[in-house]
Amino acid sequence: MYLNHISEAIGRTPLVKLNKVTAGIQATVLAKVEYFNPGNSVKDRMALKMIEDAEKAGLLQPGGTIIEGTSGNTGMGLALAAIGRGYKCIFTLTDKQSKEKMDILRAVGAEVIVCPTNVAPEDERSYYSVAKRLNREIPNSFYPNQYDNLSNTAAHYETTGPEIWEQTNGKITCLATGVGTGGTICGIAKYLKEQNPAVKSIGIDTYGSVFKKYKETGIFDENEIYPYKTEGIGEDILPKNVDFNLIDQFIKVTDKDGAVMTRRLAKEEGLFVGWSCGSAVYGALEYARENLTEADILVVILPDHGTRYLAKIYNDEWMREQGYLD
């Protein structure tokens, strides 16, 4: 048996028990290892779904150009799907994203435009604004807008959620995952809560992001917004894919705690994963320590692969410069 295109390999990723980093935790902690997707990230799922839905709606025409603001992984998923369909890709990234992410996107034929991180979302230089402007200027182009495109959530409702339910034989009691666009946690949580309303969903946020305070108070507090280094989680906007009713609680994790846990996952569990994976596990274990018992099964989503972070997380010199390693 063979696949007609690499995008057919998306999904059906393994669930792997964590054994060493979970010392002192009573619950069974299982990692959904999303780097087994062909683009090495969870974003392959929603990238393909956004393209398929756009084609059905007539928003993406033959020979078109896909333009998206991305932290890297969504761009990779879009690029892989685009290659088989004959689309061009232009991606805007912030200058805090790793060089590896930019090089990988160029390797699969995308044009990469680097934008400043420390500007407001509505600033004409922001990666959101530049993507929108290019979409207006370039004929026959499509701007998926992963933040507000509900195909993002639908992809996880249709695939990731059912996979987790089946892999745990319906015994999952808690889900934890980083929140950026919100599609992953909300799609999975929607499916799981329909099967069992008692399943808890824990969103992992970062300091410098608005999510946790907004969930707890309903206030969008701009004082919560400041630069942080962790890639792929947290936001300075409220994406439409974030349904706060589907997220029971947020836990914030520092850049350092996420980075150190990422290194531990590689060294102690053999899971060579990305930065936000460490953040997700750190936050999940913090929640489990206080709230879960040996009867619980906690599933943590590990979004991507360590190759995206070789010059940062897996570089001892860089880690020392940031004060993350002694």
Residues annotated as catalytic are 43
CA–chain centroid gap for 77, Å, is: 12
Tokens of 165: 């339910």
Residue type for 49, please?
Answer: K
Cα–Cα distance for residue pair 176/249, rounded to 1 Å:
10
- Total Cβ atoms within 10 A of residue 297: 20
Cα–Cα distance for residue pair 326/323, rounded to 1 Å:
7
Cβ burial 29-40 (10 Å sphere, 16+ → b, else e): bbbbbbbbbbbb
Q: By the 8 A CB rule, do 66 and 141 touch?
A: yes
Cα–Cα distance for residue pair 13/112, rounded to 1 Å:
29
